[in-house]
A and B are shown apart, each in its own frame.
Chain A
Amino acid sequence: MIAVIAMRDFRGFIRDGRLPWLGGLALLLLIVSIAVGWRLQSDTAAERAATEEKGYATWVGQGPKNPHSAAHLGMHVFKPEPPLALFDPGLEPFAGQTVWLEAHKQNDFGFRPAQDATGLRRFGDLSAAYVLQLLAPLILVLIGFDALAGEREQGTLRQLASLGVAPSRLLWGKALAIGAAAAALLAPAVVLSLIALYQAAAVGALADNLARLGWIAIGYGLYLGTFLFVTLAVSAAAPRARGALVALLAIWTVATIVVPRAASEAAHAALPTPTRIDFMNALGVDLRAAQNKALEDNFHVKNASQLPMEEAPRALRVDDHAGYVVFDKHYNGLWDLFERQRHLQEWLGLASPLVALRGLSTSMAGVDLAHQRSFATAAESHRRLIQDTMSDNRIAAGGSEAYNYQASPELWAKVPPFRYEGPSSAEALASSWPNLVTLAAGFALSLLAAVVAARHLRPF
């Protein structure tokens, strides 16, 4: 009976044009988004890799030079774009993608891609995640709002009841039909994603990326399932199809448009981010204090100018190491603040499954704060390696020449090229399981609501 109901409804979706029109649009957007993401990703990855490689070649080919000057040239490193970013670009457009590893100074990420975009970027990025997060639930609503209310209006619900069709069977039949319609739209996108993933993922990383894609599929399944059962619950409870549609559109608007933005703004109002000026001023005050203390502890002087010039290289090393502690304190504090803001946003956004889904999706796609922070930490370690290698050489070989010492070019090659490996899927899941639990809870609640509404289904 369930299959018969599902088949009849599925044919109805095709006949009344809802599935071909709505689904066709969504499918087209999904295919275009994946194709565009695929092309952009391969172009960007190749360009970034080439720039990083040339930067390293410039570093190695500096010729005889003072190591201090060499450290000031530094190098730029790029965060590699994970293969699943073509499915969900997440924070990538709004988080800088490169870090300049410069002497004495930890730099923030530079150049957010969204900076180079037009004002239209604020409407969102065309990606598979965008289509599935915003448009797919709307399609479920538009396909399913009259699933039960429409039957009641047309009087067919009474006929079905008189034929002995249990409300639960009717509910599952309707759910199967709407679910099948959604699956028909998603299947090509999943296949395309798998092909793109296979092409983009590095050898050895395919299994990890497949695991990530699996968790993403579970997350989106729970999310869309929640909307499916909410749609059926409202359709069962509403006296008329028109009322069900208006109520469901209001739910969709609040859940996908209003709550994510409102929760984000509320979280940031409660935990404000410092301005760059305030951040740099606080960092500067702590740096000066730490460096003065280090100078006094190591050399018993208050000012570096009081030191003999032979001590300058060692003083600079002491200075840099005092700075490392301060940079760690301030930058870790900033990352921690970002995480607290995100957690608060997720708590405030419990009313919308989209907030939890975004957390899970970006984490499993490797484009969330944790992945960004992991890269920043690795980049800073490399910067310190460059700094210490240069300082050690100056101390060991500089002698009385102080600043005017010139190192031989072999020194530059002692700094290896920057290599970065991001967190594994297991690590990503460890940080985003609360989102999965929230999604599962939302799904269970919506299922419960649909079952309860179906039990109280009035045939007229």
Chain B
Amino acid sequence: MTPIDASLRAPSAFFTILRQELVLLWRERSLPIVLLLLTAVLAGGLADGLQRIDQKDAQLAAIAAEQNKQWDTIATMLKAAEEAKTPTPYASPRVLGLSPANRSVSLPTLPLAPLALGQSDLMTNLLRISGYSEAQFLYDTDIENPWRLTSGQFDAAFVIVFLLPLLVFGLSYNLLSAEREQGTLRLLLAQRVSPASLALGKGAARALALAAPLLAAPLAALLLFRPVADASALLADWLLWSTLALAYGLLWLALAVLVNSFGRSSAFNALALVGAWVAVTLVAPITLNLVVDTIHPALSRAGMIELETEATDESARRNADLDRVDYSRKQRPADGAAPPSAMAMRGKNMQKEISERLRPWVEEYEARDQTRRDFVDAFRILSPAAAVLEGMSALAGTDADRYARFRLAAAEFFRDKTERLQSRLESGVLVTEAEFRAAPRFEWSEDRPILLLRGAWSLAQILVPTISIAAIALWRLRRIPV
């Protein structure tokens, strides 16, 4: 008699179960229904994300075009004035400051932005530099109906974080319990199939079926409807993003196997899984939010306003003697210089003084914001839903961290501009075309390693519980009640 090769039996059983399970799920219509639902909600999420990000891109492109046009217009006028040797008001040093040609700074969207809108509806990708201090423009927002912000987004990340687990439950809450309730579990195990192989085969069938739309739909949407500047970077980001989505789906599948391993009824399994889903996606994130607000509360905006009012009043008093108009003063520059008016000097002095007074507040706010984000990064492992949403947003470039880096860069640009302008304005020396063209303009520098690292950190936070739950489930399955 030929001995049974145990090393071959398990994989063979696994693939047989996998194949049979796919056929059964398809015939009993639960698989096509779930796939249809998943594809429909994913398509809806992708359409919403694409529409929102396309609108944002169009706005950023229009602003960039308008600024470039104004930049060229000023440069052309300076050139014409230089050639004609006729002074022009545009040659005033003020043009090096925050002229309409460089008043806006923008944060470009990333290729994966339509997949996870993150904080992009709350934070703006466009800051219009204005006012006496960076505190007055750094926290600007776009116009949005608060109802929409309160309702939340319907993007692909929402579908994955909130709805995917429920679809996983729909297919797997009775993974083994249904077999037991129908009396077929005993028969199956009598075929020398181990409970682990049975659960793995059944689980793999569901994972493969759900993975297809999860992998294909986002990539197809990005390739079809978004410009691809760097295909390899896009593929790398998409791979990490998709791995996050799959790992998250596997986490819930592993939990379904674990719950089934207790040998309770299908109704109990459904209750337990929904309970876990409520705890992980609804209760844990808001509780964690509450904890971070209690331990590291955000700096008070009322305090900032109070400080700003005080600083403005004090600065106005200090510069009171400049608060006047010299009606006899000539408006056009002469002798290669444009000495500033008293009002212009008052404006510059106040900008410097108020900005310096508010800078510590801005720095403290940003430091506190960083502490709060670090706290969430460390503890979001308690809610895989929060970990996956944050990771997806990081890879899409829509997380709070990237917006904070954008604010820091904009603040630095503002300080640099205003400080250089201060001394130049006092001298009144006129600006040449070459000097104007060489003046620094804001350019965002992307830190890709940080994005990838944040995505990978989220993946690690998902994989740890996924592997642990899967291991416990397989261990428990050794003695599953039949």
Contacts and interface: CB of A to CB of B under 8 A. Distances in A.
Nearest to B296: A118
Contacts of A342: 145, 147
Interface of A is mostly: helix
Contact of B151 (A115, A126, A264): A264
Interface residues of B, number: 87
Interface string B140-160: 111111111111111000100
Contacts of B118: 119, 122
B149 A126 contact: no
Contact of B266 (A95, A242, A277, A404): A242
Contacts of B292: 118, 120
B282 A119 contact: no
Given A76-B309, A98-B305, A123-B386, A268 B270 contact: no
Interface stretch (B4-12, B236-244, B317-325, B418-426): B317-325
A158 interface: no
Contacts of A138: 274, 278
Interface stretch (B15-23, B203-211, B283-291, B470-478): B283-291
A51 B306 contact: yes
A420 interface: no
A245 B147 contact: no
Given A48-B302, A242-B174, A268 B145 contact: yes
Nearest to A275: B59
A359 B287 CA distance: 25
Contact of B150 (A65, A91, A145, A262): A91
Contact of B305 (A55, A125, A265): A55
A199 interface: no
A94 B149 contact: yes
B101 interface: no
Contacts of A91: 146-147, 150
B151 A69 contact: no
B323 A69 contact: yes
Given A54-B309, A123-B285, A403 B324 contact: yes
A249 B312 contact: no
A29 B289 CA distance: 14
A120 B149 contact: no
B286 A264 contact: no
B286 A120 contact: yes
B142 A276 contact: yes
Contact of B162 (A29, A75, A257): A257
B153 A265 contact: yes
Nearest to A89: B150
A115 B305 contact: no
A342 B41 CA distance: 22
Nearest to A264: B151
B72 interface: no
A47 B300 contact: yes
A253 B147 contact: no
A382 B305 CA distance: 18
A25 to B, nearest CB: 8
Contacts of A22: 275
Contacts, number: 228
Nearest to A244: B267
A54 B312 CA distance: 13
Contacts of A51: 302-303, 305-306
A363 to B, nearest CB: 12
Given A125-B286, A142-B271, A114 B149 contact: yes
B74 to A, nearest CB: 19
Given A116-B298, A342-B145, A403 B325 contact: yes
A122 B320 CA distance: 47
B82 interface: no
A417 interface: no
Q: A91, A96, A277 — which one has the most chain B CB atoms within 10 A of its CB?
A: A277
A427 B466 CA distance: 52
A121 B400 CA distance: 11
Contacts of A190: none
B316 to A, nearest CB: 7
Nearest to A312: B325
Contacts of A69: 316, 323
Interface string A77-95: 0100000000000110111
A261 B152 contact: yes
Which of B149, B163, B286 is packed against the most chain A CB atoms within 10 Å? B286
A369 to B, nearest CB: 7
A73 B316 contact: yes
A63 interface: yes
Nearest to B308: A76
Nearest to B48: A265
Given A98-B305, A123-B386, A142-B271, A118 B400 contact: yes
Contacts of B154: 261-262, 264-265
B141 A112 contact: yes
A309 interface: yes
Nearest to B124: A276
A122 B266 CA distance: 32
Contacts of B399: 119
A359 to B, nearest CB: 9
Given A119-B119, A142-B274, A276-B143, A245 B267 contact: yes
A260 B290 CA distance: 24
A66 interface: yes
Interface in B149-186: 149-154, 158, 162-163, 166, 170, 173-174
A117 interface: yes
Of A25, A51, A125, most buried by chain B (CB within 10 Å of CB) is A51
Contacts of B275: 22, 142
A273 interface: yes
A269 interface: yes
A450 interface: no
B372 interface: yes
A98 B308 CA distance: 14
A59 to B, nearest CB: 8
A431 interface: no
A277 B58 CA distance: 12
A403 B286 CA distance: 54
A262 B44 contact: yes
Contacts of A250: 170
Contact of B320 (A65, A245, A403): A65
A375 B143 CA distance: 17
A337 B141 CA distance: 18
A342 B310 CA distance: 39
A38 interface: no
Given A91-B150, A258-B41, A261-B154, A121 B305 contact: no
A55 B309 contact: yes
B353 interface: no
Contacts of B373: 118
20 contacts: A50-B302, A61-B313, A65-B316, A90-B150, A94-B146, A115-B141, A116-B299, A118-B292, A118-B372, A119-B393, A124-B286, A145-B267, A242-B266, A261-B158, A263-B151, A264-B148, A276-B140, A338-B145, A342-B145, A358-B150
Given A120-B286, A245-B267, A309-B327, 10 more contacts: A54-B309, A54-B310, A73-B309, A75-B309, A253-B166, A261-B151, A261-B158, A273-B144, A338-B145, A341-B148
Interface of B: 41, 44, 48, 51, 55, 59, 62-63, 118-119, 122-124, 126, 139-154, 158, 162-163, 166, 170, 173-174, 265-267, 270-271, 274-275, 278, 281-283, 285-290, 292-293, 298-303, 305-306, 309-310, 312-313, 316-317, 320, 323-325, 327, 369, 372-373, 376, 380, 385-386, 389-390, 393, 399-400
Can you list the 8 inter-chain pairs with the closest CB atoms, starting with the nearest?
Answer: A264-B151, A123-B285, A94-B149, A116-B298, A95-B146, A120-B289, A91-B146, A51-B302
